[in-house]
Amino acid sequence: MAAEQMRVTKSADEMTKSTNRLRPLLRLWPWLWRYKRVLLGASVALLVAAAATLSLPVALRYLIDFGFSAGHSQHIDAAFLAMFAVAAVMATATALRYFMVTWIGERLIADLRAEVYRHVLTLSPVFFETTRTGEVLSRLSTDTTLIQTVIGSSVSIVLRNLLLFGGGLVMLMVTSPSLTLMILLMIPVVLVPILVYGRKVRRLSRASQDRVADTSSTAQEVLSSMTTVQAFHREPFETARYARAVEGAFGTAVQRIRSRAILTFLAILLMFGAIVLVLWLGAQAVVDGRMTPGELGQFLLYALFTGGALAALSESWGEIQRAAGATERLIELLDTPLALQVPARPVALVAPVKGEIRFEAVDFAYPSQPERKVLENFSLHVRPGETVALVGPSGAGKSTVFQLLLRFYDIQGGRILLDGQDIAACAPGAVRESLSIVPQEPVLFADTALENIRYGRLDATDAEVEHAAQHAAADAFIRAQPDGYACFLGERGVRLSGGQKQRIAIARALLKNAAVVLLDEATSALDAESEQAVQQALDELTRERTSLVIAHRLATVRSADRIVVMDQGQVVASGTHQELLAQGGLYARLAKLQFRDA
Ligand SMILES: Nc1ncnc2c1ncn2[C@@H]1O[C@H](COP(=O)(O)OP(=O)(O)OP(=O)(O)O)[C@@H](O)[C@H]1O
Ligand SMILES: [Mg+2]
């Protein structure tokens, strides 16, 4: 608990640094301004409703001072008729305001969600190495929901009550300047504690949202790795971990609601205390004949409106501050830089891409470990149509070569050229379009086999998908599934075996039909028979395209045009299978181990 407290205090300190507490909300303005017509309509409705409300006390005074004296029954009729008319106007305007303001709230959130999501999807892997996906999800759902309630309701409550407060104050002035002066003197006494506490509520609100995000990211991570959790029998451990996160969130929430409760207490007590005092003075004025009973009635109603408006304002103030906190978290996400140096005016690759690849003295360290060079002075030239195999011990940097070609990271030294064009000068998307990868760990989506393969090329026909599956030796096992190609593969493809997942991934890459093929241990999980079947397809795939093939099983790369041996981020040898054997280096050693039995 002490640790939790510390964290809360820390983020509270960070908050105080921000110069303006509501500034984050201003960032929402451009989004709101897109719907200026609705905004205008809502404002008109708001004004009309407030004006109608403010005219009611006048009708009341009329009623008391003229209607109740004998012989003025027509005044009574007129007064009640007027009151009903006002009520009708008020009802209409309020309903319209509700509709329009809520509409804007929903619209804003829909836009904001889509925009934040779009932005997050463009972020480089660096972002996802440092941020937990659960955290992002929480911001997308919880924080946007909070903003939605505030824009959809609290803002209109605030505006309405600001109007009522202002209008009420003016009308109080009109009704009795001396009594109003009394009220004005008391306003600071009422407002100062409210503002002080409001500030506190906001700080705690941000902390509270952070804790909620903690709980959901904890859960998200565990739920997506259930079999590992259960295999190690870590359910009690994970349950306790989640419970701690939940308790942390609860603790922060309690602090928040305590401040809110105190805020409410202060607001109501101070406000009504002030009104009672003023009323007491008013009653004396009526007794002394300085005021008519109707005027006092009117004054009383306005005082109630004004006081009620102030109470509602203080109530919503906390909400709005919470929303400011949530907006801040969302905007933070939106402001996250790409981490990748993408030129403002990218150079286009000349179509069709031939697939010549050149690494020139590339130095690279992953951003999370900037001092540890994973590739050092790495040079490699792959001619169009050539098949080059990358072999070497685990951790040598083979997959990293693919990551860099895919332009997931910026390199620290050297150049990477595709068709003679520095890929750093191109749009990352354009570079990736010309590469087709079968990753070391195939990633499938919770969808059907058909759609999972079609992910390689979205406009492929069913027949093309099946054709690709046949070539990847995936057709037979897909057809053996209960619904064939329409079979649901489960989240991340959990319903398939490792080798089956690989073949789906290969089919996907085949379908993409890009100029360059990157195979990272594409057949490592296959049995000898399926591997042979797939290998034929891969040979066909790699024959007419530039291909980079990573494999531990040297048997699969013997047919490559050239084999490049990597160790500790550098090329240590290169040549054909026979040449490398003859050289007797690392490759010969690996080959001896692997082919000993054969
Ligand atoms: N995202 C990352 N952040 C930091 N370091 C990383 C990251 N990915 C890989 N590394 C490190 O970079 C080095 C090279 O990794 P890489 O994945 O390229 O190896 P590999 O040759 O493909 O090995 P394997 O044959 O086991 O797949 C490793 O030491 C690894 O720890
Ligand atoms: Mg690898």
CATH number for the domain running over 2-335: 1.20.1560.10
In one letter, which amino acid is 291? M
Given a cut of 60, is residue 216 above it in pLDDT? yes
- Is 471 within 8 Å of 540 (Cβ atoms)? yes
pLDDT one-digit tens code per residue, 479-494: 998 888 898 888 777 7
- CA–centroid distance, 393 to ligand 2, in Å, is 10
- Domain locations along the chain: 2-335, 357-595
**Which listed ligand is nearest to 392 at the C-alpha?**
1
**Which listed ligand is nearest to 405 at the C-alpha?**
1
Residue 488, SS3? Answer: strand
- Kindly list the protein residues that place their beta carbon closer than 5 angstroms to ligand 2, a single-atom ion: 399, 440
Q: Whose CA is nearest to atom 30 of ligand 1?
A: 395
Q: Report the number of secondary-structure helices (H) and strands (E) in the chain.
A: 22, 10
Instruction: Give the residues surrounding ligand 1 with Cβ less than 6 Å away.
Output: 129, 366, 368-369, 374, 394-400, 440
Q: What is the pTM of this model?
A: 0.73
Q: Minimal CA–CA distance to 205: which of 160, 130, 149?
A: 149
- CA–centroid distance, 378 to ligand 1, in Å, is 15
Backbone angles phi, psi at 525, to 5 degrees: -100, 10
Q: What would the mean pLDDT of 399-407 be, rounded to a whole number?
A: 93
- The yes or no reply on domain 357-595 and CATH 3.40.50.300 is yes
pLDDT at 3: 36
Range scoring the smallest mean pLDDT among 10-24, 75-89, 515-529? 10-24
Q: Whose CA is nearest to atom 24 of ligand 1?
A: 394
Distances (CA, A) of 344 to 340, 347, 421, 422, 432: 12, 10, 16, 15, 18
CA-CA distance, 551 to 497, in Å (whole number)?
20
- CA–centroid distance, 198 to ligand 2, in Å, is 53
- CA–centroid distance, 397 to ligand 1, in Å, is 6
pLDDT one-digit tens code per residue, 447-467: 899 999 999 999 999 999 999
pLDDT one-digit tens code per residue, 264-309: 887 788 777 877 887 788 888 888 888 888 888 888 888 888 878 8
**Which listed ligand is nearest to 520 at the C-alpha?**
2
pLDDT at 276: 84
E strand residue ranges, 375-526: 375-382, 387-391, 413-418, 421-422, 435-438, 516-520
Q: Whose CA is nearest to atom 9 of ligand 1?
A: 400
Alpha-carbon torsion (404, 409, 414, 418), positive or negative: positive
Q: What percent of the chain has pLDDT over 70?
A: 95
Q: Whose CA is nearest to atom 17 of ligand 1?
A: 399
Backbone angles phi, psi at 413, to 5 degrees: -150, 155
Q: What would the mean pLDDT of 223-234 be, rounded to a whole number?
A: 87
Atom of ligand 1 nearest to the CA of 125: 1
